[in-house]
Chain A
Amino acid sequence: EPEVTQTPSHQVTQMGQEVILRCVPISNHLYFYWYRQILGQKVEFLVSFYNNEISEKSEIFDDQFSVERPDGSNFTLKIRSTKLEDSAMYFCASSERWGQGGGAFFGQGTRLTVV
C-alpha cells in the first residue's frame, strides 16, 4: 500500500541551526502539506503546496520556514534558524484530490528536538 515516508525519524539540533526535514509523498498525489504537533497537543497546519507553489500557510509558518519540491518525488521543509519552541513532531501529508474519495494521508513524522 502506498505511503508517505519521512526522514529522519528523529532529529536533534542546536538552537540557531538550520534543519531540513524530508518527505516522499504518495506518487500520484497532487497536494502536499506540512503539519506539526507539539507534545500532547493537537495537530496544527503549517503549509500546503500545490502546483509547485504554496497555496496556503498558517501564522506559524513565518520567514524562518520554507518548503521546496526539488524533484519529482521529494518535498522538504526547512527551518532556517531553529528555536526551542520549534521542538515538535512534524508530519508531512499528501492528498490526491479533495472531494473525490480521498483524504490527506500522513507520514510517520519527524521528531525535532531543539536543544
Chain B
Amino acid sequence: GQQLNQSPQSMFIQEGEDVSMNCTSSSIFNTWLWYKQDPGEGPVLLIALYKAGELTSNGRLTAQFGITRKDSFLNISASIPSDVGIYFCAGLRDFGNEKLTFGTGTRLTIIP
C-alpha cells in the first residue's frame, strides 16, 4: 500500500530554534497536507498544498510540495512552546478519491 515516511521521527529543540521536517513517498500524491496533533486531540490542519513546487506559508510555518509530487517539507521558524506536538503529513492520491494517507509522524519536543 501507499506509505508516507516522515523524518525525523522525533526532534528535541530549544525554544526559538527553527525546525525542519519532511515527508517522502514512493507514490505520487496530488495533494499534500500538514497536520498537527496535540495529545488526546484530533489533527488540526496547518497547510494544504495542491500544486507541484508550490510553497505556502501560514505564519511561522512554511511548507513546500515537491516537484516530483513524492515529497514535502514543513519548516517552523522561531519555535515556541505551543509548537510541541506530533506533526503528520497526509497525501491525497486522486481527486474524487478522498482517502487521506497519513505519514508516520514527527514528534516535536521543546527543551526548556
Whether A43 contacts B43 by the Cβ 8 Å rule is yes
Q: Is A65 an interface residue (CB 8 A)?
A: no
Task: Give chain B residues whose Cβ lies under 8 Å from the Cβ of A101.
Answer: 48
Q: Is A56 an interface residue (CB 8 A)?
A: yes
Q: Is A106 an interface residue (CB 8 A)?
A: yes
Q: Is B102 an interface residue (CB 8 A)?
A: yes
Task: Give chain A residues whose Cβ lies under 8 Å from the Cβ of B40.
Answer: 109, 111
Q: How far is the CA of A48 from the CA of B92 in the complex (A)?
A: 13
Whether B45 contacts A103 by the Cβ 8 Å rule is yes
Q: How far is the CA of A43 from the CA of B45 in the complex (A)?
A: 14
Smallest beta-carbon distance B69→chain A, Å: 14
Whether B41 contacts A109 by the Cβ 8 Å rule is yes
Whether B42 contacts A98 by the Cβ 8 Å rule is no
Smallest beta-carbon distance B9→chain A, Å: 12
- Interface of B, secondary structure class, is strand
Whether A44 contacts B102 by the Cβ 8 Å rule is yes
Q: Which of A54-85 contact B (CB under 8 A)?
A: 55-56, 58
Q: Is B104 an interface residue (CB 8 A)?
A: yes
Smallest beta-carbon distance A20→chain B, Å: 19
Whether A102 contacts B48 by the Cβ 8 Å rule is yes
**Among B42, B92, B95, which residue has its beta carbon within 8 angstroms of that of A109?**
B42
**Among A33, A44, A105, which residue has its beta carbon within 8 angstroms of that of B98?**
A33
Which residues of B come within 8 Å of A, CB atoms? Answer: 31, 33, 35, 37, 40-45, 48, 50, 88, 90, 92, 95-105
The 7 listed contacts between A and B (C-beta, < 8 Å) are A95-B98, A99-B31, A103-B48, A104-B45, A104-B98, A106-B35, A108-B42
Please give me the 7 A-B residue pairs with the lowest Cβ-Cβ distance, nearest first.
Answer: A106-B42, A103-B48, A43-B102, A48-B98, A103-B45, A45-B99, A103-B33
